[in-house]
Amino acid sequence: MVVHDADARRGLARECALAGIDAAHPATVVRDAVARDGDTLRIADATFALDDYDDVIVLGGGNAASQVAAALEDALGDALSGGVVVTDDPAETERVEVLPGDHPVPSERGVDSTRALCEAADAVDERTLVLAVITGGASALLPAPTEGLSLGDLRATTDALLDSGATIHEVNAVRKHCSALKGGRFATRLAPARVATLVFSDVVGDDLSVIGSGPTVPDPSTYADALAVLDDYDVTVPEAVRAHLEAGRDGEREETPGTDDSAFERVSTHVLATNRTAVDAAITRAREAGYETMVLSTRVRGEACEAAKTHVAVAEEALATGEPLDPPCVVVSGGECTVTVRGDGEGGPNLEFTLSAALELGEDTALCAVDTDGIDGATDAAGAVVDADTLSDRLAARRALRANDAFPALDDAGALVETGATGTNVNDLRVLVVG
Ligand SMILES: O=C(O)[C@H](O)CO
């Protein structure tokens, strides 16, 4: 039954967003995609004969990596020997060692944990099946500075890139060329083991070479691409980083491995969850509530507060003309918006998205936007749910947007969605309920 009051609309927007997060949780995803039947292991459409291996181990990293490891322990039982994952969101595991790292900026303990991961990788042989778990956040959680660079260099470079407005494809082109593990180099290290990479994507369009900086897949980007990113976005990095990238461009450093590298012959990649997983679940929840539904796109990107206005425009059009859908309806989108940081406030893309929308939304519409990992920007909130009545002081809200200070404004309005770390990461999810 469709309900028409503002509370119910906000409630439904929030419920659909939470349903999306739940559907992308590793426990749910791995239960559906991975199963052991005697000596056969099924991962999505592929099968592996466990008899061919002496050891099956989990190696990897990312915000959701330990949840994936715990779910793999359940799915494989005693066929799984152990392994190491690095994460900032530890889950309880029995055989896989969970080591700490930090995100979005790499840390000393992340370097130590990544060293332990590499030691485990160095111990494999051709009778090892490695389940390489790569989820969003792996780039920061698995710092392995290449020779000649320090953790300080990586931290300064990451900070500067994250504030520059560069896309994740561009940010990771630089990170891959400063790392001993990213951009396919982990696959080189794992040879001659058989590697099945299990991916949870937080990248718009699911480019495997970008998710977590693609440690086990060929890298199409080059040192020259990395330098172009620094120049295009006017990013200042430590001298050692620029010198390293220039040496690479001039042929003095080995390029990241490409498709012709034999290391990839024994690697298969299985994308287990993407933004679409969350979007589809949000749509299902809206249909159950009796609403007409539409996926706007899973690839919405760009400056958060501008993308928000496009979503408001979609709601206005639906109310005015019944296009693209007749209200009552629910429009869902995914993707990843960015914020070009100008102020020094507290916020994140989904908080800016909702605050910007709250300034424009008319009656009869509610909007929820969340980061599915539960942590928008560096705040404690996943996002917020807003409508035309959310803001009591619109001037202050505009000031907050200009200062990139959306968190306190939405907190004061009681609009925050606080889930805590969710155990997954499939990017941003937005639900627009048009009454
Ligand atoms: O870790 C990363 O590089 C981002 O989360 C994209 O996957």
> Which domains, ranges and CATH numbers included, belong to the chain?
6-20+276-434 (3.40.1480.10), 24-274 (3.40.50.10180)
Contact 417, 404 (CB under 8 A): no
399, 156, 187, 427 alpha-carbon torsion, rounded to 10°? -10
What pLDDT score does 78 carry? 96
DSSP letter, residue 104: S
Split at pLDDT 50, 70, 90, the class of 373 is: very high
Give the residue, out of 157, 208, 213, with the most ligand 1 atoms within 8 A of its beta carbon, to mutate for a pocket test.
213
Q: In what order do the strands lie in the sheet with 383-387?
A: 292-303, 329-338, 428-434, 365-371, 383-387, 416-417
Of 91, 114, 87, nearest in space to 100 by CA: 87
Q: Is 167 in the pocket of ligand 1 (CB under 6 A)?
A: no
Q: Is 168 in the pocket of ligand 1 (CB under 6 A)?
A: yes
Residue 202 CA: which ligand 1 atom is closest? 7
Residue 213 CA to ligand 1 centre (angstroms): 6
What pLDDT score does 164 carry? 86
Of 366, 406, 415, 369, nearest in space to 388 by CA: 366
Split at pLDDT 50, 70, 90, the class of 266 is: very high
**Percent of the chain scoring above 70 in pLDDT:** 99
Cα distance between the two ends of the chain = 12
C-alpha 61/C-alpha 19 separation (Å) is 25
Contacts by 161-167, CB closer than 8 A, 24 or more apart? 161/229, 161/233, 161/235, 162/104, 162/105, 163/340, 163/341, 164/233, 164/234, 164/235, 164/340, 165/233, 165/303, 165/338, 165/340, 166/229, 166/232, 166/233, 166/235, 167/301, 167/338
> Can you tell me the mean pLDDT for 397-424?
96
Residue 203 CA to ligand 1 centre (angstroms): 7
Beta bridge partners of 417: 383
CA dist 8 to 16, 76, 348, 365, Å? 12, 42, 26, 11
What pLDDT score does 183 carry? 98
What pLDDT score does 165 carry? 80
Contact 429, 370 (CB under 8 A): yes
C-alpha 368/C-alpha 202 separation (Å) is 19
In the numeric block, the tokens 């909130």 are attached to 381
What pLDDT score does 2 carry? 64
- Render the burial of 206-238: b for 16+ CB within 10 Å, e for the rest: bebbbbbbbbbbbbbbbbebbbbbbeebebebb
CB atoms under 10 Å from CB of 303, counted, come to: 17
What pLDDT score does 254 carry? 97
Supply the ipTM of this predicted assembly: 1.00
- What confidence tens digit (pLDDT) does each residue in 300-341 have? 999 999 999 999 999 999 999 999 999 999 999 999 998 888
Q: pTM of this prediction?
A: 0.92
Q: Is 135 in the pocket of ligand 1 (CB under 6 A)?
A: no
Phi, psi of 104 (to 5 degrees): -90, -5
Residue 211 CA: which ligand 1 atom is closest? 7
C-alpha 321/C-alpha 308 separation (Å) is 20
Q: Is 162 in the pocket of ligand 1 (CB under 6 A)?
A: no
> Can you tell me the mean pLDDT for 57-81?
97
Q: Is 67 in the pocket of ligand 1 (CB under 6 A)?
A: no
C-alpha 420/C-alpha 433 separation (Å) is 24
C-alpha 397/C-alpha 243 separation (Å) is 43
> Can you tell me the mean pLDDT for 228-253?
98
Tokens of residue 271, six digits: 């994308």
Contact 333, 279 (CB under 8 A): yes
> Can you tell me the mean pLDDT for 97-111?
96
Pairing of strands 194-200, 267-273: parallel
Tokens of residue 33, six digits: 């995609």
